[in-house]
Amino acid sequence: MMITPAPHPVKTAEINPTADVVTVSHLFKSFGANHVLADFNLILHKGESIVVLGKSGSGKSVLIKCIIGLLKPDGGEIRVLDQDIAELNDIEMDALRAKIGFLFQSNALYDSMSVRDNLEFPLRRHWIQVTPGEVDLMVMEALDDVGLKHTVDMMPVELSGGMRKRIALARTLILKPEVILYDEPTTGLDPITSKEIIELMVEIQRKYNTSSLIISHDMNCVRLAGDKVAVLLNGRCRACETYEELQKSKDPEVLQFFQI
């Protein structure tokens, strides 16, 4: 069944405060003399959606790349689904990654593969035990979720920017992840398509009860997609509250994001 985007995204995820999906504790990451993350702390609960807001180059993408294990932190601890990622071997890390969806800023669709092959790739690579018929059903269900069933045999180069973003989202959904990490999901899209993608993200979270960590500096995305907003300033999480609470923040550096 295809998800019909709601006129206004509704945040209905049931939050269980006792279940922490992602816990980032005292995270440090530097590139040479550039200290990108310095004692960063964040907790993402089950079913919750947090948008990490920060200036360009403030280390937002570095944060989620550390969480998914693409970058190695210099210090601190990252626990995802109750596992310390620093202690996992390659096989355990792959098993954990099967439970995490990652939407890349550039979509990262494989140019040499059709949409079907792009979606099947994570299934085949994570050794998911499914029959060819089931694979086909899963691919069509994921495409149905993003409203693009008709593109199944198209190549990525034939798709528009918004369609590519939706296909990339479908690829993250195919393994039914427990947590989805979004890296600048609306970057490079026009305002209407951006709104459609944001609505889709909210609907997906509601349908599958996933937890979401969204990196963005698009204030529409921040306002509509997040249960909470974490403000990343000078390598630290300066505040993590609701959008409305942060609008009344007394910290001028935090407040500057909400006065644009």
Q: State the nearest-atom distance from the C-beta of 23 to other proteins, in Å.
A: 20
Choose one: 48-56, 74-82, 90-98, 196-204; the region binding other proteins (CB under 8 A): 90-98
CA 57/CA 27 separation, integer angstroms? 17
CA distance 70 to 220: 28
Task: Name the nearest CA neighbour of 211 among 42, 41, 14, 76.
Answer: 14
The 3 state secondary structure assigned to 70-96 is CCCCCEEEEEECCEEHHHCCHHHHHHH
Residues contacting 199, CB < 8 A, separation 6+: 5, 6, 9, 224
Here the tokens at position 41 are 């702390």
Question: Is 164 near other proteins (CB under 8 A)?
Answer: no
Which of 29, 97, 166, 206 binds other proteins (CB under 8 A)? It is 97
Show contacts with other proteins in window 48-77 (CB under 8 A).
65, 68, 70
Q: Considering the complex, state which of residue 28 and residue 121 has its C-beta at the smaller distance from other proteins.
A: 121
Q: Which span sits near other proteins by CB under 8 A: 12-20, 39-47, 97-105, 134-142?
A: 97-105
Take residue 246 and report the two structure tokens written for it: 């942060």
Give the nearest distance from C-beta 121 to other proteins in angstroms: 6
Asked if residue 249 binds other proteins (CB under 8 A), the reply is no
Asked whether 118 and 167 are in contact (CB, 8 A), the reply is: yes
Among 22, 51, 109, 139, binds other proteins (CB under 8 A): 109
CA atoms of 26 and 73, how far apart (whole Å): 10
Q: Is 137 in the site for other proteins (CB under 8 A)?
A: no
Tokens 């390598």, residue? Answer: 235
Query: Is there binding between residue 110 and other proteins (CB under 8 A)?
Result: yes
- Tokens representing 168 are 């990339």
Q: Which residue of 51, 100, 148, 204 would you call a contact of other proteins, by CB under 8 A?
A: 100
Residue 172 or 194: the one with the smaller Cβ distance to other proteins is: 172
139 binds other proteins (CB under 8 A): no
Name the minimum Å distance from CB 125 to other proteins: 4
Direct distance between the N- and C-terminal alpha carbons of the chain, in angstroms, rounded to an integer: 39
Interface residues toward other proteins, by CB under 8 A: 65, 68, 70, 90, 94, 97-98, 100, 102, 104-112, 121-122, 125-127
